[in-house]
Amino acid sequence: MLNDTPIATRAAHLNNRYRHHSATSVMELALRDRDVGRTALVSSFGAESVVLLHMVSVLAPNLPVLFIDTQMLFPETLAYQAEVADKLGLTNIITIRADQAAVEFDDPDGTLHQFSTDSCCALRKTVPLEAALSGYDAWITGRKRFQSGTRAALEFFEPDTDHRMKINPLAMWGREDIADYMVNNRLPRHPLVAQGYPSIGCAPCTSPVAPGEDPRAGRWRGSNKTECGIHFINGKPVRIKTEDAA
């Protein structure tokens, strides 16, 4: 049972405790730290997801891995998810989907993303994930400081809601660290990366990225949306504008 210390205070204490630790060390120690509590990894099985999945396979292969199947993913992502789970021996993958009745009511013909990407993400990602996380005290993400200006001060531990925190073991890593880890551990790459997709989400809202473009330029191309809304600050979805993601 966690104590009654406010989540922001606990996150600050944890950041001070693990400030000089490596990503693997942060992951390993957090999974048994009583100030963290019951934890799950949330994974999209996207372009860089295999790094954290590999760490989990080594440290805690039975850790719950929440995989959000929006039912609009690339077939390659679904095949990659099965391949990685088998190769790494992950034994507790929990697939999360939107309530079918809600989908039939709000998006009966599967075109909601064409009119409101925020509404589609809320229906297929944010709401199902929030329900799945209700039984956890913390969740592990792959967020990193280099990904956008709004993440430049990202810490290992941060408040998510009044009762839950996020753990960002890779917060201090750069792109070269990700690439080196994958090569050194001979990890399988998402097949779409080689086809020009450095950031991979739902098929209707993800396009290839041209040389020189920002790696996330293919997500919700043509709009100022760069986040799916599953990340929260003070209980509210984060909205990051395009200029913040440069």
pLDDT recorded at residue 232: 47
pLDDT recorded at residue 214: 80
Instruction: Please say whether the beta carbons of 40 and 166 come within 8 A.
Output: no
Would you tell me how many other CB atoms lie within 10 Å of the CB of residue 211? 5
**Each residue of 106-148: pLDDT tens digit?**
999 999 999 888 899 999 999 999 999 999 999 999 988 776 6
Q: Spell out where 101-195 has E strands.
A: 138-140, 157-161, 164-167
Question: Structure tokens of 177?
Answer: 């660290």
How much is the pTM? 0.86
Distance CA 233, CA 173 (A): 22
Q: What is the rounded radius of gyration, in angstroms, for the C-alpha atoms of the chain?
A: 17
Is 202 a known active-site residue?
no
Distance CA 188, CA 192 (A): 12
Question: What fold, for 7-245?
Answer: Rossmann fold (3.40.50)
**Each residue of 31-48: pLDDT tens digit?**
988 889 999 999 999 999
* Cα 57 versus chain centre, distance: 17
**Each residue of 145-176: pLDDT tens digit?**
776 655 667 899 999 988 899 999 999 898 89
Active-site residue, selected from the candidate residues 120, 121, 202, 228? 228
